Amino acid sequence: MHVYLDNAATTPLDPEVLEVMVETMKNDFGNPSSIHSHGRQVKTIIEKARKTIANLLHASPSEIFFTSGGTEADNMAIVRSIEDFGITHAITSPIEHHAVLHTLEELEKTGKIHLDFLQLDEKGNVDYSHLESLLATNPRTFVSIMHANNELGNLTDIKRISEICAQYNAIFHSDTVQTMGHYVHDLSELKIDFITGAGHKFHGPKGVGFLYINGKNKIKPFIYGGAQERNMRGGTENVYGIAGIAKALEIAYRDMDEHRLYIQELKDYMKLELQKAIPFIQFNGNTEADNSLYTVLNISLPCTDMSDMLLFNLDISGISASGGSACSSGSDIGSHVLRGIKADSSRPSVRFSFSKNNTKDEIDFVIAKLKALCEQV
């Protein structure tokens, strides 16, 4: 059996999405910047996709900008806000995705900002009172806090953060890549300046994402070139990807309640069965349903002798999982998220992340393999 439990890294493409993309590839090849009929037809596809996403998020189409993915969208929001608004202070958490952390750290290195990190509790939850105290002495700050941590699954109350930021006239950006397509985002009810999405996290294509920019914010382009994306991002649009991401988000919202209940049941089942099968297992981050991303379960095993070989052994057994963010899987320095919550580094840790395609039989197979691996050492 081959089991894929690394959906937080990327999800399989939905067949309905593939169908839309293939039809677009076959029939709509014109350059959307061309004024002739072939170009106008393709431009219509892009604008229809923009409207679809905007309607789902309760935003205006003029507030949605297509990018190459979540990393570009995060970078665009961070760099352009700090430079265009003359911001000299930023706040984030030490367990953000590197698309956020590395960007802010580089801006601090070059002297453009002073960067503060929010305090965390032992599970990795941000301290909201610390955020407020930092903003009280540093108004007009850039704040970037992700909606759900991609390794632990912790959910952050971004509505609460948005209200705190609004009180102190701060700019609030949230990396919502892990929750987009899995939770409802109603931007008409949220005082937020920027959010991001990436198609491959909700059964859409890789290489395409989007940035929501609140209409009250006016920033310059991050990538210069042509007049694409209403002069906000140069470069010929990834039309097939844009058609695909819109269809994927449409499907995600259509089936969200059903899939959420199903996947949450799988996660709860795996947690319970792991506790039965492996004594002294630990769960990292929040695991309560209301405070945790239902697609992610991060565990630490008691079998310390296999720490360096766990993922390799799982792979040999036909199980795909992750020790942290896939974007840094080639690194041997370990997870900055687990270091950030001071997890026991002697224990091998693994992130299992689920999708609508997983089954209980697969979960049983994984638990049996984990138990056998622990018993071998």
Residues 93 and 237 in one domain: yes
Q: How many CB atoms neighbour CB 266 within 10 A?
A: 22
Residues 165 and 48 in one domain: yes
Residues 250 and 152 in one domain: yes
Looking at residue 280, what DSSP letter applies? T
- Give me the chain's average pLDDT, please: 94
Say if residues 199 and 209 touch (Cβ distance below 8 Å): yes
pTM (2 d.p.)? 0.94
Residues 210 and 303 in one domain: no
| CATH assignment of the domain containing 103 | 3.40.640.10
The pLDDT tens digits of the residues spanning 224-280 come to 999 999 999 999 999 999 999 999 999 999 999 999 999 999 999 999 999 999 999
| Annotated active-site residue in 165, 303, 327, 374 | 327
pLDDT of residue 208: 98
End-of-domain residue from the set 219, 254, 289: 254
Phi, psi values for residue 101, rounded to 5°: -60, -50
> How does residue 377 score in pLDDT terms, banded at 50, 70 and 90?
low
Residues 295 and 248 in one domain: no
Q: How many domains does the chain have?
A: 2
Residues 265 and 245 in one domain: no
End-of-domain residue from the set 254, 285, 302: 254
The pLDDT tens digits of the residues spanning 27-41 come to 999 999 999 999 999
Q: Which domain holds residue 330?
A: 3-12+256-376
Residues 42 and 174 in one domain: yes
Residues 241 and 283 in one domain: no
- Mark whether 374 is an active-site residue: no
The pLDDT tens digits of the residues spanning 42-56 come to 999 999 999 999 999
| CATH assignment of the domain containing 356 | 3.90.1150.10
Residues 138 and 181 in one domain: yes
- Name every residue whose Cβ is closer than 8 Å to that of residue 144 and which is 6 or more positions away in sequence: 74, 77, 78, 90, 91, 92, 96, 100, 104, 172, 173, 174, 175
Comparing C-alpha atoms, which of 222, 133, 217, 209 is closest to residue 176? 209
Q: What is the mean pLDDT of residues 164-179?
A: 97
End-of-domain residue from the set 238, 254, 270: 254
